[in-house]
Structure 1
Amino acid sequence: MKYRDVAALVTGGVVRDLEGVLETGLSVWASGTTAPPSVAGMTFVNWQEPVSCGGVAIFPDDLIVADRDGAVVIPAAMIDDVLQSAREQERLEGWIIKEVRNGAILPGLYPPNAENRARYEADSRD
């Protein structure tokens, strides 16, 4: 569910009123929860401006990808390259999982050594 085109909340800090935040249906990534003595000290600044989150600079139009393990930021100028690399990485990891399920040992498979890389590439052509 989205509210005002917001799909999730990612913060390097803490959130207040976690129950209320979770009731929105938004996904939330935060370092914890708190109940500050007063919300009067909390101020909305602006939309579409650079921010820092967890020591990382976030700019408008950057892509944030998050799952249960955490969140990463992809700079807008790198999105196409990262998506291409991510597709290939997913194919490789799918192949590795298949190999492990068939009894292969993980050392030399992940990351793939030259022999296993050649096997993966040969299997990918088939």
Structure 2
Amino acid sequence: MTDETSIFESLKLVTTATITTVLLKKGLRNVWLRGTKPLQPNQPRLVGRAFTLRFVPAREDLATPESWSSPISTRGAIEAMPGGCIAVVDAMGVTDAGIFGDILCARMKKRGVSALVTDGVVRDVAGVVGTGLPVWCNGAAAPPSVAGLTFVNWQEPVGCGGVAIFPDDVIVVDADGAVVIPKAIVGDVTALCVEQERLECWIMNEVEMGIPLPGLYPPNAESKSRYEASRTKP
């Protein structure tokens, strides 16, 4: 697969659980972003290129309300976000200072950002929900970001939820959280994921028919043969 639109449409049909399994088979174990939980139930599975933002620990001369007017600020970063991206915010797992509130999320939604993913927390939760921007985070806190964090830059490598994220890596989010697919292998991984989903759907049907798991999951040669035969049926 090479066309980004077709890749993303295919990934929307693939669970993050399947993606982690495929990446594990390719030697990548640390791809699930810890602490990234859906803010609301039933948020849709989404796919997008990572737009990264990075916070460091608060320093009193820098983490001030006045910093919000700086060119290097979360406000400036939001204005640089392209439509369709997924904003990935490295908040170092800090949970007592909300990185974004309703106004910033509303602006992201207006700019066509697909989702916000962070290992930190948000504030003004009712307002954030009201913007319609899907959010994956680690909870909520009333204090603003400068109470515990200093914003330093965007579109550089970050560590979100203990995972290395580079700008334009592909992010997939669903009910299980957020997963990164390195941008260099996204086409290959997507093709493998689609086939894995197809196989697991067949296995689930076999389970429903009472077939025991040994030799079925994972499939042995006989099961693989039956699976391949099922794919050729009209």
Same fold (TM over 0.5): yes
Give 1:81 shift. 0.6
Paired residue secondary structure (2:127): helix
Distance in 1 between residues matched to 2:187 and 2:125, nearest whole Å = 35
Paired residue secondary structure (1:9): strand
Cα distance change of structure 1 residues 107 and 22 upon mapping to structure 2, 3 Å threshold = farther
Give 1:74 shift. 0.4
In structure 1, give the amino acid aligned to 2:205. K
Number of aligned pairs? 125
**Paired residues for 1:72-87 under 5 Å:** 72-87=179-194
Distance in 1 between residues matched to 2:222 and 2:174, nearest whole Å = 32
> TM-score, with normalisation over the residues of structure 1?
0.85
Paired residue secondary structure (2:132): coil
Aligned residue in 1 for 2:115 = 8
Give 1:113 shift. 2.3
Distance in 2 between residues matched to 1:85 and 1:26, nearest whole Å = 30
Which ranges in structure 2 are unaligned for 5 or more consecutive residues? 1-107
In structure 2, give the amino acid aligned to 1:35. A
2:169 to 23, 40, 62: 62
Aligned-residue sequence identity (percent) comes to 64
Give 1:61 shift. 0.9
Aligned residue in 1 for 2:128 = 21
Question: CA-to-partner distance for each residue in 1:29-77, whole Å, 9 max, x for gaps?
Answer: 11221122x4444554443222110111111111110101111000110
In structure 2, give the amino acid aligned to 1:76. K
Aligned residue in 1 for 2:226 = 119
Paired residue secondary structure (1:57): strand
Aligned residue in 1 for 2:24 = none
Aligned residue in 2 for 1:105 = 212
> TM-score, with normalisation over the residues of structure 2?
0.48
